[in-house]
Structure 1
């Protein structure tokens, strides 16, 4: 599901990353090229036992455990996962009977704006079943840390970042999280049950389509840069403002990097979400591992799911930072607002800042998949 749930850009702001130019437009893949790609695109490299694309040579003890889990643990987890999705779908179906979805411009529709017992049942059951799903996947204990705004003075700002304690705190309009895996979605559903940005095709998927509408997902056409796409950005910012002003409105959850990393890096943020000028709640996710990394990076989907389901125990560490209140300067400059939040998250999460993004990830994956030629193999910063 992670591949379907992605972040948006407003379509009106230019990419503020350093310009990247191709050295070669058609160059055979070689070991030297791959070594250079791994160095340049370290944010997407795998460092676990299974290696790049999950095809590394594994020790015999690990192969034995993998085989045992494959015939015992994996079938059980698959059955439980499918059952949980079916149960929640039925709950959503019952709660939305005889109720028309909220409709917005750009063909948006959702059930997240329902009130009363219907919404309460959807949210509470959604949180509970999401946590059950994580437990089924081996995440038995989730370690959460909530940082205080004046912890050691590191998060205390005089002009930006933290609101004056004498003023009544404002509700954030969006949760901002780094993006590592499709598992991020399950965690955030279990903790705060926010709305996500999703590809339009998600709304038509069996079972998941109705669930996404109950979450209040905003649907986008990922490849589109048309006026329709800009209109969706307006819907997202409208939702952020609504959540900021109304405590009963669904919160927006945004993965502003636009793709996943291996968890050690933080990519540039899209700036569209900061046009709303509303405060945001930064969250940092980590997946500590010893054998298999749950990160969704340079590995095939089938291998990732199999290795994840066959790993007996998985771990999540979550750091909740204080609500970030923008200064007037940041409200006037969305790029500055985005970059300041990004640097704060990198510092507090010990993450490495990187200036690459989804385009470079596609180049890297193309090389690892063994393409006979790479349209743009080597990239360098423009002088």
Structure 2
């Protein structure tokens, strides 16, 4: 059985809960937001006072003296009070928090949303890692400065290198720096599964203390994910609850083996499995690559929202029949073969190729595959043909191979990445494992790639499960009431599936 998808969360309210939310919202929401804002306004001068008159050299060292013993408890108290005003009246703490010499890092999961900062008062305001862009925000920037947070820009590779260096320095300081608190999932989920941990917290190879964060409430209002309830809705629903429960549990310190110290990815995976077991949820290979949630399969990135399936959905909204889709695919195939590797088209050309009624749909399709108003037509054709079921997989792979092999009859590692990116609809950055499984005599041939994708224990899941065409086919109106795909399944007019073998 596949694990529950961690990137979808919807708050489902009964009629009574909706009425109660409106009534309490009118009374509680303005009052709670006002009191919480007042707490943050009080935090701001405390945060500024901590480094008033302090030189840059002193700022690069841990805070000590009266700035620590006086201001730290004040900030911790204000932080806790702010959450009380947001309905978190009680915080249950289980287990013992290790000191910074025992465990320089606290790894917290699952990461559900901004309410997770509730864990900070329970960890004595442990130092965090934050986006450098947040340092420019009013109040938040001052709080990050107070926290002596490690700042990193996701857009700047040098910033990431500097952050890793700074983290290693702090985590190996033998207690000189305060504990670090990190959310190794790197993004928010619905808590029904743990996604793959990023290695940042484990690079230094020092002991970590796993920390479990639970919200044992009948109505789960605190989580916001890639898809579903927005953070504003979460804030509204949480602030209108009479009370919201939160439990922080400190697990025993995890000391890495020598193998884990030399392999941060292994270390991260083992801690993920331990925490998943304690939470009684699956440990999965889901991860967020840039803005795209994906699952990992043998190094390949399988997007949660397939661009090809979303494209077929857009075409359905434009009243495309199955016959229209097949005609559009044929036109794209001929254009790709004519242009070869120079098959970039803009939105206007896409309108003509697909015979769309409006340019906006073409722009939406371009947005699914690229960052501008152009798209590699090979990607659109190959990925759509794969999930539509209009072309048998062996035939499709032959066509894709000829579009990427540059006439040599074999693929380089880079060309293999391009082909797999077209098949899956998003760029593939780590196809070395697939290349090794496929390559013979320093060549990747069409037959070898077909063999691996259809028989290899790992990669056959790609064709047998992920690229199954039923979903795309069943969502489109059919000109004759049914359509047959290359898995010999019939999709009838009402979308149900029947196998020919069982009829």
TM over 0.5: yes
Taking the aligned partners of 1:81 and 1:221, their CA distance within structure 2 comes to: 29
Gaps of 5+ in 1: 1-38, 50-57, 104-109, 150-167
| Higher gyration radius (CA) | 2
Structure 1 segment 164-203 matched on structure 2, within 5 A: 170-178=101-109, 179-203=111-135
Aligned to 2:165: 234
Aligned to 2:5: 42
Gaps of 5+ in 2: 295-302, 315-363, 370-382, 388-423, 426-457, 461-503
Taking the aligned partners of 1:332 and 1:236, their CA distance within structure 2 comes to: 17
Aligned to 2:250: 320
SS in 1 for 2:210: strand
Aligned: 1:348 with 2:284: no
**Deviation of the 1:365 alpha carbon:** 7.9
Aligned: 1:259 with 2:187: yes
Aligned to 2:26: 71
Structure 1 92/348 Cα, relative in aligned 2: closer, same or farther at 3 Å? same
Structure 1 208/309 Cα, relative in aligned 2: closer, same or farther at 3 Å? same
Q: What per-residue deviation string (whole Å, max 9, x for no partner) do you get for residues 16-61 of structure 1?
A: xxxxxxxxxxxxxxxxxxxxxxx88711222542xxxxxxxx4332
Q: What per-residue deviation string (whole Å, max 9, x for no partner) do you get for residues 236-263 of structure 1?
A: 1211112xx02x5221111111101111
CA contact (8 A) 1:111 1:213 kept: no
Aligned to 2:203: 275
Which shows bigger deviation, 135-144 or 76-85? 135-144
- 1:296 pairs with 207, 224, 229, which one? 224
CA contact (8 A) 2:76 2:124 kept: yes
Taking the aligned partners of 2:44 and 2:255, their CA distance within structure 1 comes to: 37
Aligned to 1:331: 261
Taking the aligned partners of 1:65 and 1:339, their CA distance within structure 2 comes to: 43
SS in 2 for 1:361: strand
Aligned: 1:142 with 2:75: no
Structure 1 366/81 Cα, relative in aligned 2: closer, same or farther at 3 Å? farther
**Deviation of the 1:290 alpha carbon:** 1.6
Taking the aligned partners of 1:148 and 1:208, their CA distance within structure 2 comes to: 26
CA contact (8 A) 2:197 2:268 kept: yes
Q: What per-residue deviation string (whole Å, max 9, x for no partner) do you get for residues 117-164 of structure 1?
A: 112223212221121112111111222221799xxxxxxxxxxxxxxx
Q: What per-residue deviation string (whole Å, max 9, x for no partner) do you get for residues 339-364 of structure 1?
A: 11111111112121111112343865
Aligned to 1:208: 140
Taking the aligned partners of 1:143 and 1:308, their CA distance within structure 2 comes to: 18
CA contact (8 A) 1:128 1:190 kept: no
CA contact (8 A) 1:216 1:250 kept: no
CA contact (8 A) 1:175 1:282 kept: yes
Aligned to 1:91: 46
**Deviation of the 1:65 alpha carbon:** 0.8
How many residue pairs were aligned?
308
Structure 1 325/262 Cα, relative in aligned 2: closer, same or farther at 3 Å? same
Structure 1 234/319 Cα, relative in aligned 2: closer, same or farther at 3 Å? same
Taking the aligned partners of 1:343 and 1:41, their CA distance within structure 2 comes to: 16
Taking the aligned partners of 2:91 and 2:107, their CA distance within structure 1 comes to: 19
Structure 1 365/219 Cα, relative in aligned 2: closer, same or farther at 3 Å? farther
Larger fraction in helix: 2
Higher relative contact order, chain-length normalized (CA < 8 Å, sep 6+):
1
